[in-house]
């Protein structure tokens, strides 16, 4: 590759990166607690609530805590996609809008995904080390889910 071609390509890449900074997203920040939130309708012990907030709520609620790098494109788009996808699968702030059957299914999925180490995502725990769930955390969440399922039925 000629030096002038490389310089032109580098300039185009830098220009594209600058231009995309002007394309934003609607952030997932709703400071008002939802009346449909799981904790508004069911018993969620403080320890479990803290685990959910630390390990799940950034992608599975209506209120994300955004890190500094979320202001840089294309990271902003990537995070937005993860959050939208997470909320599509399970939104703890809209949990009470689900049917009983869907609630029970989602709770089964919570246990399954944490026990298979599918959640929280590795890409999330690389940066949010405190979001990793220990074996004890997983057992406590599973015990809570089992109690909650009895309450829902």
Residue 1 has pLDDT above 70, yes or no: no
pLDDT digits (tens, 9 = 90+) for 42-77: 999 999 999 999 999 999 999 999 888 888 888 888
pLDDT digits (tens, 9 = 90+) for 8-18: 888 788 777 77
The Cα–Cα gap between 52 and 37 comes to 12
The whole model's pTM is what?
Answer: 0.85
> In the beta sheet, which residues pair with residue 29?
63
Per-residue DSSP letter, 66:
-
Domain ranges of the chain: 27-152
Show the tokens assigned to 95. 């949990």
Show the tokens assigned to 152. 């829902």
Q: What are the Cα distances from residue 11, in Å, to 7, 17, 74?
A: 6, 10, 17
pLDDT digits (tens, 9 = 90+) for 74-126: 888 888 999 999 999 999 999 999 999 999 999 999 999 999 999 999 989 98
Show the tokens assigned to 121. 């995502």
> In the beta sheet, which residues pair with residue 63?
29
Quick check: helix, strand or coil at residue 97? helix
């Amino acid at each position: 590759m000629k030096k002038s071609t490389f310089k032109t390509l580098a300039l185009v890449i830098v220009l594209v990166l600058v231009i995309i900074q002007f394309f934003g997203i609607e952030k997932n920040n709703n400071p008002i607690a939802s009346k449909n939130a799981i904790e508004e309708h069911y018993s969620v012990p403080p320890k479990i609530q803290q685990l959910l907030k630390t390990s799940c709520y950034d992608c599975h609620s209506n209120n994300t805590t955004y890190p500094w790098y979320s202001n840089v494109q294309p990271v902003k788009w990537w995070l937005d996609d993860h959050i939208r996808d997470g909320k599509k699968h399970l939104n703890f702030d809209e949990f009470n809008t689900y049917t009983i059957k869907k609630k029970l299914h989602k709770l089964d999925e919570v246990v399954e995904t944490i026990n298979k180490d599918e959640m929280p995502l590795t890409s999330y725990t690389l940066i949010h080390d405190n979001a990793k769930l220990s074996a004890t955390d997983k057992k406590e969440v599973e015990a809570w889910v089992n109690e909650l399922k009895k309450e829902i039925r």
